[in-house]
A and B are shown apart, each in its own frame.
Chain A
Amino acid sequence: MTTRAESSRPVSEVLGVPPAAHKVRDRSFVLLLGALTSVALIVLAVLLIDTAIDGVPQLSLSFLTSFPSAFPAKAGIESAITGTLWLMGVVTFVIVPLGVASALYLEEFADNSRWWNRIIEVNIQNLAAVPSIVYGILGLAYIVRGPLSLGRTVLAGGLTLALVVLPVVIITGREALRAVPPSIKEGALALGATRWQAIWRQILPASIPGIATGVILSISRAIGETAPLILVGAATFVAFNPTGLDSPFTALPLQIFSWISQPNDEFRMLAAAAIIVLLVLLVLLNAVAIRLRNRYQQRW
């Protein structure tokens, strides 16, 4: 009986409003959603324009090839750029082998019914959500001081940043490996290949574009990371290029932060110029990643 009563209720009662009034509401709803969507995009646009207005007049060859200085007119970002490049070198050197090996283990070897494998998996998920400044604390306690005692050096900064982005490399690496259809591996195994031969000669080559995309995106995240470097880098007034892994350093985001912290407006303009350099670097990296993805992505 009750079902009958319910099904005989008029449509307008079930859905609320008679159809004629729908049009106005539907229209305004679309407009509302469109407006909500565009807010973030507008903020991004305003941010870029504002930074460009502040920063572009400061950009010059001498800005790129000078060291930080107490005089805004003479200050530049050469040591910040070289420092960032050194850091990214260390980050790449650490995350590629470690990230790919972890991804391979979790996708190809791990037996998910074992508790230790599940722990590794949950752990990586959690690490990805740990705030980057916590890695900075870890770097300060264990890498700069404590057990490793590397001091505030390029190596210490690079290792700390590598820890920050490692979960991202592992997660994107696993996705790339998973995208290779099982039939490829099964085919190799059926021909008598061992597990590792199938992985090394079939699965890994097929997933390299995906893995490389993940690595590049991780590096572009590492480039912009500031918070951990505040704790492990600290030396913001570095008027020389790093000479090796044991050299003190500054980096683009650190230099930007230190200039923003100056109350002097001229330094803030310099910060805007350095932001432009940083963003250009990021856009270039992302363009490479997108190209890789589009060009080599195989549809199976």
Chain B
Amino acid sequence: MKTGIEVKDPVTTGILDRLMDQPAPFLEVLHAIQDHHGYLSEPALRLVAERFQIPISDLYGTVTFYHFFQLEPKPLPDIRICENSACCLHDLDAISKEVVDADLGVAHSGQVEKISCPGRCDMPVPILIGEKFFHHARAGAIDNMTAATMPLPPQTGLEECLFRDIRDGIGSLEGARSHGAWQSPKLAASDPQEVLSQLKESGLTGRGGAGFPTGIKWDAVRNESRGPKYIVCNADESEVGCFKDRLLMAHSPHAMLEGMACAGLVTGAEIGIVYLRWEYPEILESLQVAIDEATAAGLLGEDACGTGRPFRIVIRRGAGAYICGEETSLLNSLEGKHPFPREKPPFPTTHGLFDLPTVVNNVETFCAVPAILEKGGAWFNGLGLGDHAGTRVFSVSGDISRPGNYEVPVGTSLRELLETHAGGTPDGKTIQGVTMAGISGGFVGAADLDVALDPASLTDLGAMLGAGGIIVHDETRCMIQAARESMHFLAQESCGKCFPCRIGTVRVTELLDELIEHSSGNPVIRANPLEELADLEEVLEETSACGLGMAAPFITRTLKKYWPDVVQNYIDGQKTSNPANPRKGDSGE
């Protein structure tokens, strides 16, 4: 075995000594090394492999999976610009040129790299240099990216759960406590059954998109005899068009931490881990402040909230990979394994982090818990319209007057959300369609804007509600191009393990590219594009190993459903829909 290490790297050794006893230290160790050295050198990685007892080849392969781990030193950072659905409605080439020439006070290499959505669709176009975000609002205006935009006041008469105090300065512990925060963990410790019964009554389901009932999940983990158990907060909000978790963590971090503490005390877990996406560096800082404040106040730690039971929370930072938002990929990522999704069953409730019983919930799910326990499950349940339970937060972006996050009752119509809350299109144009779930839930066309925003109603339309991101496309947009951008994102972010997703997402992207090029006079190579598309959709939906590939057909099926003439015209080579700008993405690689 070649180690190639003559002199041990004292910095890396120090980092390993300091962090190895911490919960799930793998990502933390790599980030600490990269933060110090600027990259992950071979000697450093060999030390890491040795300490974690991971074969060096496996460690190398795992590191290459992520967007933001670097294996080579780079004196100056590249300029990274979001290329995905909401941002590519803008002229990215022009913006790139502008950024290269602008004096932003930050040194960069002058190289522009397009990246996947960094969750700032309400402030297009985000530009990332090093770990600093800028915001290109319009030509000639590049500013520092501000904190997540506070949600607008709710419409008259609308009761909120997650946002009810968010505008009143509950980001600090003091502010949060002045609004009654951190009361529920006592109940969780003294009467866990009551917590479970309130959660079940509330109808709260997983807000990451899968929609599993939260009370049942916690109950399952509580009933597991093996331990130690873990609470994992999925803050790897990576879906294009979703930026609600960023807002909640920025302005209501204590609700999330409190929800996690409740989960710990109910299930018997003593450690909570927030898996935070790399692209939220400002949240990394502010959330750590919130954790430190709560720990200093005795709300977290050895005697959490005076319950006599320990519960502490650590943040683990991702490294850029959409698939790590899939809960089993996330767990593999925390463990230092190759972040492919796991086969399910078994589910994380029985075999989660390090194969131990684990609650994995989304940020929004945890944030809803304290209010539910304060005001009762029936109260939350009653916030929904009709038979629907509770409220949900939707991230609205694209061609919309007031992009941002909105908390509305489940069952609110899409039209009401877009027109009444978000103000409709900025210049009176007609909405042609919107993307759902971010982008992976397909489209809803203008004809169905009255659909109720609840999972079942969207499923009935052949779309998916998912994590609640909605990108609005007005009448001038090219919906084939929009579909292409969505599919391109999935192709970029497919983990590559299962064949249907790895090949299928790329092939559908290429097929859409071919149609778009055909409308500019290039020949269509395929004899029967629609038949090929249908076959690809079928295997993607029915044979993919995880939700990424399974969801991909929502995009093209709803495209064909709402805009059949447009698709046919593209096949016939007559462009009828007018792209707002001449953007032209690269092909699916």
Decide if A and B are genuine partners.
no
**A residues bordering B, Cβ < 8 Å?**
none
